[in-house]
């Protein structure tokens, strides 16, 4: 039997999503509890990886069991009771045996939160504190470059890619909410550091230290010239994954 779960987590104290030996990760923490509840070593398959310090509001993962879980509500309750308090499973549903949390995904939405106002010690792990006067209109103009299907090889640290570093951005927006700037990106999929490099570039555009024209030269460029800017992880959230 195969089940799909939706999970949210505070990524501050984890070394990312992917299981690693001897360090706390989201995947490793969930697998340990699932294995205990199911009385069998259980592996989970996420919709994708998040970096150390990155948060999630709607990450997805699937797992298999030999027997059907009779009461998913009680099972989810028991799972959350045993999980680290930085992790919470919102939903578990039964899916087809050929469903895959990563391969079946059609889109993912990320959001990046920038605080340009007063420092807030209670949100230091959840927003990027950047007290600068940013040109949001110019950032929005730069963001439009990324919309559509492009070669993003200069906006990822990934060394090789079966799809030629080509991904499609369905929608990207830059908006101001009082002293906060919200960047939201929806796309077919994202490579390592891709969102953070895009955000980092937009921040440099907002500061006037990098231009829209310079950004255009890095996009769809068959030669690798890695962008020099990468936003920190604490402002980034995986908002949802659609199928």
Cα–Cα distance, 205 to 183 (Å, whole number) = 14
Tokens coding 162: 């079966």
Cα–Cα distance, 59 to 8 (Å, whole number) = 6
**Residue whose structure tokens are 């709607």:** 58
Q: Residues near 73 by Cβ (< 8 Å), separated by ≥ 6? A: none
Closest CA to 73 of 59, 56, 98, 94: 94
φ and ψ of 171, to 5 deg: -160, 145
Residue 128 Cα distances to 45, 78, 118, angstroms: 29, 34, 12
Cα–Cα distance, 156 to 191 (Å, whole number) = 6
Is 171 one of the annotated active-site residues of the chain?
A: no
Angle between helices 136-143 and 194-207 (to 10 degrees): 140
Catalytic residue among 51, 90, 97, 171: 51
Instruction: State whether residue 228 is helix, strand or coil.
Output: coil
Catalytic residues: 51
């Amino acid at each position: 039997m195969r089940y799909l779960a939706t999970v949210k987590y505070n990524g501050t104290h984890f070394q990312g999503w992917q299981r690693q030996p001897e360090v706390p990760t989201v995947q490793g923490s969930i697998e340990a509890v699932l294995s205990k509840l199911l009385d069998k070593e259980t592996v989970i398959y996420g919709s994708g990886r998040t970096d150390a310090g990155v948060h999630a509001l709607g990450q997805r993962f699937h797992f298999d069991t030999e027997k059907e879980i009779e009461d998913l509500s009680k099972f989810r309750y028991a799972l959350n009771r045993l999980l680290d308090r930085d992790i919470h499973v919102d939903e578990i549903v039964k899916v087809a045996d050929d469903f895959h949390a990563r391969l079946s995904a059609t889109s993912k939405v990320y959001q990046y939160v920038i605080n340009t106002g007063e420092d807030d010690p209670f949100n230091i792990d959840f927003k990027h504190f950047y007290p600068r006067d940013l040109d949001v209109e110019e950032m929005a103009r730069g963001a439009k470059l990324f919309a559509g299907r492009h070669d993003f090889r200069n906006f990822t640290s990934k060394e090789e890619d079966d799809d030629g570093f080509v991904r499609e951005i369905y929608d990207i927006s830059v908006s101001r909410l009082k002293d906060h700037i919200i960047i939201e990106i929806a796309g077919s999929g994202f490579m390592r550091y891709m969102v953070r490099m895009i955000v980092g570039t937009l921040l440099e555009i907002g500061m006037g230290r990098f231009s829209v024209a310079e950004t255009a030269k890095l996009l769809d460029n068959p030669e690798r010239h890695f962008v020099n800017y990468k936003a920190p992880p604490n402002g980034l959230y995986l908002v949802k994954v659609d199928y």
